[in-house]
Structure 1
């Protein structure tokens, strides 16, 4: 029987030949990821009360990324709990202050096609970019996973988002996602599986596919998937993963697999901007009234990976940010920061007037980096809910790294294509 990629991944984890949407199955977990905010400070007291050990420490990854660098006593307390617990448990995989979990985990080779994973963060579907079934869960569900290695799941339907044609220069995966969220709303995924496919998706690099999968959370999906291909294989091999026995060809949806299908023309897509205070409040950038900005933020797991920094540098090279605009850049990981420095990208950004921030969640999650009260912000982050970036009075607009960079130069929300022609 024809099956979707989501069904094949779940069937493998459930030890079944096949599964059907609507079925409830119990799945074995290949990887459980959590961070300093979602993990030890919540899990430790519950584990102690149960007197329960971790089921398999080799399948647990802790990333300390939300409250670093520690800005106050509360942050220091939370980070200390995470570090002390990791040491007590002798966890083999702890990434402390190396960047954002959704970027650090794949960069260290923990995600492979065919895996079934959970994460203590709503943007955990990022793993779907690698052909892994990965979704976010809460602390009580994570407690069950780290003590048993299993979790139950209702098999979802698949919604196919097929993008035909090719994106034009200056338009990115972030624009694709904002367009879909604007069209279908934040519940458009209905907690089902969303699979991104088509010529335009196949042409994307892994960083851009990670943005699609990541922001399936904003679409209301449980997971966002991209079938692995030669691009996936090359990326994994570049970070040292042996791909010979992964069986990449197996992990795809059958041509006649059941599901809901939507089609889009990538070549007709213009840069998109989400207005305050929702990722679904979307318009093409050229449809906006002149909107002055005081802060331009290039950061987060959806906007500061190496390819994102390269995109911003293409726009900013040879220019200076507008007077009165603060351009903040927080590379998504230390690895991406080092590569960007080696390529000369950081120098281009700094020459344009950017201030470099630590590789951490930072202002995206409202920690550490202060966004001035009452300011208007153009940001490459995934969310712009009121108070999300720490200031309840800030007006936050979302755009791609291209759009953020162009807006920093113009001093207002702007289309990057005029700088790339």
Structure 2
């Protein structure tokens, strides 16, 4: 039977060939919890009478949304996680002393492996598919079931093959590729499907861009996003310690069955901007610039675009320049290691001299929690992944999604601007 990479990953886990739409119970390699969703999982875990995790070394708990705590409620949430981590003697517990946004931190530490089945109580868990894993978000009670049993139920998703062809132009990044795809198919265009990304365009993208692409698969309604291992993946894995010396690599068969095949020529692509209030409301930067959209805030960070390449891109544009007087520029490195590397490379100095504020690693601004909340009628150009009504603050505020180069150039000009000039 010819199979997709997703079908092969599930087949390897249950010991027989599976096909799309089949309902299976599968062992989980990695369970990811964070500070705002895990307390609900812990509550369900204890309510079920469980006292010990089925596989303690497969549970990865990262405090990243409201750390350091923004108020008493978030402090108490963090406290519940810390108590549970101590009770279970968790090997992989990441708090303020070793912090980072979960979907940046775990790959950085070499803890995400190709061929694994990964679940997390966070919708952007699909990020880890960039390393050739099946990775998806679930609810907190679903997470509790896996914490207790080490397994979970899945309907094996059908796959949509997305082939990016052509040579990329200047300031075209993974963010632009995924925004263009979502523009074409809509926020429900891949509902419960696996988006399998491939082609010449992917081969031109480094790991940071690939994480961005898979991160936003959920914004098209997908169950997962996935990219097969290649030399770029192997180099990423080689440069960090890993859980296994031999990754489990899977590749789709040439004659595998796909629900749909989509081809996108990136040589024709401009930097993309997603207008409010959906990630599918994408427009090329040439259109956005003509619309003369003034901004109040610019944000670079999140699990989508808070990596070292994003800070390098922003620093290159902002060097020896100042941000507009009417704009706040907030930069959030994805992890402490990224922040340290940016400091060593002189990027932090460039950003600070331009007028940026550098925050600790956190998801806070992206979800409208803290460290960058928007006021009434304010506009923000952001590298985050969602721009729903009220996503970053006031319900009357507006969020425009773009790559780091667009955000940096816009911060200088005080309006959404083209970095290619």
Q: Same fold (TM over 0.5)?
A: yes
Equivalent residues of 2:116, 2:248 under 8 A apart: no
The offset of 1:277, in angstroms, is 1.2
Range that drifts further, 388-397 or 230-239: 388-397
1:301 is paired with a residue whose SS is helix
Alignment of 1:390-401 (within 5 A): 390-401=393-404
Equivalent residues of 2:42, 2:144 under 8 A apart: no
After superposition, the Cα gap between the structure-2 partners of 1:218 and 1:256, relative to the gap in structure 1 and judged at 3 Å, is same
Equivalent residues of 1:27, 1:152 under 8 A apart: yes
The offset of 1:49, in angstroms, is 2.0
Alignment of 1:73-92 (within 5 A): 73-92=72-91
Equivalent residues of 2:45, 2:147 under 8 A apart: no
Alignment of 1:172-251 (within 5 A): 172-241=173-242, 244-248=245-249, 251=250
The aligned counterpart of 2:337 is 335
State the distance in 2 between where 1:323 and 1:313 align: 18
The aligned counterpart of 1:275 is 275
Equivalent residues of 1:380, 1:399 under 8 A apart: yes
Equivalent residues of 1:67, 1:78 under 8 A apart: no
The offset of 1:408, in angstroms, is 0.4
1:87 is paired with a residue whose SS is helix
The aligned counterpart of 2:107 is 106
Q: CA RMSD in A?
A: 1.2
Equivalent residues of 2:33, 2:60 under 8 A apart: yes
The offset of 1:247, in angstroms, is 4.6
Structure 2 gaps, min length 5? none
The offset of 1:255, in angstroms, is 1.6
1:302 is paired with a residue whose SS is helix
Alignment of 1:16-415 (within 5 A): 16=16, 18-39=17-38, 41-52=39-50, 53-97=52-96, 98-241=99-242, 244-248=245-249, 251-259=250-258, 260-288=260-288, 289-369=291-371, 370-415=373-418
Structure 1 gaps, min length 5? none
The offset of 1:122, in angstroms, is 0.2
Equivalent residues of 2:109, 2:242 under 8 A apart: no
Range that drifts further, 41-50 or 292-301: 41-50
State the distance in 2 between where 1:293 and 1:300 align: 19
Equivalent residues of 1:69, 1:368 under 8 A apart: no
The offset of 1:393, in angstroms, is 2.1
2:299 is paired with a residue whose SS is strand
1:310 is paired with a residue whose SS is helix
Once the two structures are superposed, what CA deviation does each residue of 1:266-297 show, in whole Å capped at 9, x if it has no partner?
11100111111111111111112100001001
The offset of 1:42, in angstroms, is 0.6
Runs of 4+ more than 4 Å apart: none
Equivalent residues of 2:131, 2:233 under 8 A apart: yes
Once the two structures are superposed, what CA deviation does each residue of 1:172-228 show, in whole Å capped at 9, x if it has no partner?
110111111111100011211110100110121111100111100101100100001
Equivalent residues of 2:22, 2:155 under 8 A apart: yes
Equivalent residues of 1:129, 1:209 under 8 A apart: yes
State the distance in 1 between where 2:381 and 2:419 align: 13
The offset of 1:371, in angstroms, is 2.5
1:328 is paired with a residue whose SS is strand
2:263 is paired with a residue whose SS is strand
TM normalised by structure 2 equals 0.96
Equivalent residues of 1:298, 1:381 under 8 A apart: yes
Equivalent residues of 1:236, 1:243 under 8 A apart: no
TM normalised by structure 1 equals 0.96
State the distance in 2 between where 1:67 and 1:295 align: 20
The offset of 1:243, in angstroms, is 6.6
2:303 is paired with a residue whose SS is coil
Query: What is the count of residue pairs matched by the alignment?
Result: 414
After superposition, the Cα gap between the structure-2 partners of 1:242 and 1:77, relative to the gap in structure 1 and judged at 3 Å, is closer
State the distance in 2 between where 1:109 and 1:29 align: 17
State the distance in 1 between where 2:248 and 2:368 align: 41
1:406 is paired with a residue whose SS is helix
